[in-house]
Chain A
Amino acid sequence: MNLTASRAKLYSSEVAMRITTEVVQILGGYGYTREFPVERMVRDAKWMAIGGGTSEVQRLIIAREIMKKETRRIF
């Protein structure tokens, strides 16, 4: 469960950052003003990769779990 939760948290928070950044880009100059809600979405997304365990910590957890569980004999 640790593994799946960490993967889900890591992945979704980094996707959110990538997508919201792209959204501001698509809205161009307007995207950069506070009149439009998208720049807030980027600022909010940035927190997602830090709070609740940073992406780096998630990678630590995942790495530890996969070394334990996921190594199988490969023919």
Chain B
Amino acid sequence: MRHPMFTEEHELFRDSVRKFVEKELAPHAEEWEEAEEFPNTVFTRMGELGFLGLRYPEKYGGQNCDFLFSIVLAEELGRSGMGSIGMAVAVQSEMATPPIHKFGSEEQKMKYLLPANQGKKIACLGITEPNAGSDVAAIQTTARREGDQWVINGRKIFITNGVRADFITLVARTGEKKGYKGVSLFLVDKGTPGFTVTRKLDKVGMRSSDTAELLFEDCRVPASAMLGEEGRGFYHIMWELQGERIMGAANAVSRGQMAYELALKYAQERVQFGKPLAHFQVTRHRLADMGTEIEAARHLIYYCAWMFQNGEYPVKEISMAKLFAAQAAARVADAALQIHGGYGYMMEYPIQRYWRDIRLSRIGGGTDEIMKEIIANEVLGRMKE
């Protein structure tokens, strides 16, 4: 976590988040994971502390901070013992709300952005559908104009915060039937007739995060519910994914670091064949490799953060960092579980939760496969079909 780009202010912020996580989040990890839900008060409390919407202007409940503060937050939330927290906050502050800040009307900012940053309204982002994941252009949810209303029909799946959210930043097709054009954004309130949560999804990991399947059946919203320009929905949304990928990667590496620290501790305590595991070369070398990989992943992320902070938009490096971080964290978590032996396989030991939570990193926020496609396209140009 040492890098010349972090100033004393960043370090002070890191300290205050770390204290908050140690005192108010980490001790509840087992309880909230068991309940399959962390309480809404996590959002309100973080809103109080000014941890949500860090980069937005104060007028909209933000702290006017730079990008590196968001990186620090993502790293420190990874120390909560739950991948769920970092993921939920990322959606709240870095995915569902940036388009509101950038493309919303003043009214929309006051109604949605401000309370989201205060932790008073919980947000979710509705892109993915049962038949459109990596193939984002294939989305089929439609919004049909009728007088001064839009009528929305469709389904969304894998929507983080979707069960408890007060509103959704929704992607729906208003124009052309296929492709990236003809798609628009809408802000839809929970409770709008025709908008229902059909299922809370039962996931392998991130179990304290609520993930929803949503249904829109002739859901009517006023014309004012459109966010930004009609037909520009994809462009309004896609630009923000790059920043979010760096933060997701930082959070994953932080959790990989935690898994590594658990293994480091266990290896020095567990005695077999008359010696602690940390005495045996296989374990020593494995731990050496684990720490090395985490460090390498971290610095690739820091490089991207530095470039992003300087106003650059390094799509290739960001994809590399996300790909590498997710894969490294997964390898480290698996090795950490292995070091724990039989106890690593028990639900009563925390390492299994890190292992299960980290597994999502290679899928969520852009799969490994899509990252590789992006990198290859950047380097080689797109191949014609």
Segment of B32-40, B89-97, B282-290, B306-314 in the binding face: B282-290
Contact A75 B27 (CB under 8 A): yes
Contact A10 B258 (CB under 8 A): no
Contact A71 B265 (CB under 8 A): yes
Contact A72 B261 (CB under 8 A): yes
Contact B288 A71 (CB under 8 A): no
Contact B258 A74 (CB under 8 A): yes
A3 to chain B: closest residue by CB: B291
Contact A70 B264 (CB under 8 A): yes
B224 at the interface (CB under 8 A from A): no
A26 contacts across to B, CB distance below 8 A: none
B262 at the interface (CB under 8 A from A): yes
Number of A-B contacts (CB under 8 A): 50
In the complex, A28→B74 CA distance in Å? 43
Contact A59 B262 (CB under 8 A): no
Interface of A is mostly: helix
A62 contacts across to B, CB distance below 8 A: 287-288, 291-292
Within 8 A of B (CB), among A1-18: 4, 7, 10-11
Contact B26 A63 (CB under 8 A): no
Q: Which of B27, B265, B292 has the most CB of A within 10 A?
A: B292
Contact A60 B262 (CB under 8 A): no
Contact A7 B284 (CB under 8 A): no
Contact A63 B265 (CB under 8 A): no
Contact B22 A75 (CB under 8 A): yes
Q: Please judge, given known A-B contacts A67-B268, A67-B278, whether A74 and B288 are in contact too, CB under 8 Å.
A: no
B197 at the interface (CB under 8 A from A): no
B296 at the interface (CB under 8 A from A): yes
B283 to chain A: closest residue by CB: A63
Within 8 A of A (CB), among B273-318: 278, 284-285, 287-289, 291-293, 295-296
Report A22 CB to chain B, min CB distance, Å: 14
Contact A70 B258 (CB under 8 A): no
Which listed residue, B22, B261, B285, touches A63 by the CB 8 Å rule?
A: B285
Report A8 CB to chain B, min CB distance, Å: 9
Contact A74 B262 (CB under 8 A): yes
B265 contacts across to A, CB distance below 8 A: 71, 74
A56 contacts across to B, CB distance below 8 A: 285
Cβ proximity bits A51-73 to B, threshold 8 Å, 1 near / 0 not: 00000101110110011001110
Report A14 CB to chain B, min CB distance, Å: 9
Which listed residue, A60, A70, A72, A75, touches B291 by the CB 8 Å rule?
A: A70
A67 contacts across to B, CB distance below 8 A: 264, 268, 278
Contact B291 A71 (CB under 8 A): no
Contact B288 A66 (CB under 8 A): yes
In the complex, A45→B293 CA distance in Å? 19
B288 contacts across to A, CB distance below 8 A: 10, 58-60, 62-63, 66
In the complex, A23→B192 CA distance in Å? 57
Q: Please judge, given known A-B contacts A11-B296, A72-B261, A74-B262, whether A66 and B291 are in contact too, CB under 8 Å.
A: yes
Which listed residue, B278, B285, B292, touches A11 by the CB 8 Å rule?
A: B292
A56 to chain B: closest residue by CB: B285
Which listed residue, A59, A60, A72, A74, touches B289 by the CB 8 Å rule?
A: A59
B267 to chain A: closest residue by CB: A67
Report A35 CB to chain B, min CB distance, Å: 25
Q: Please judge, given known A-B contacts A67-B278, A75-B26, whether A7 and B292 are in contact too, CB under 8 Å.
A: yes
What is A's interface to B at a CB cutoff of 8 Å?
A: 4, 7, 10-11, 56, 58-60, 62-63, 66-67, 70-72, 74-75
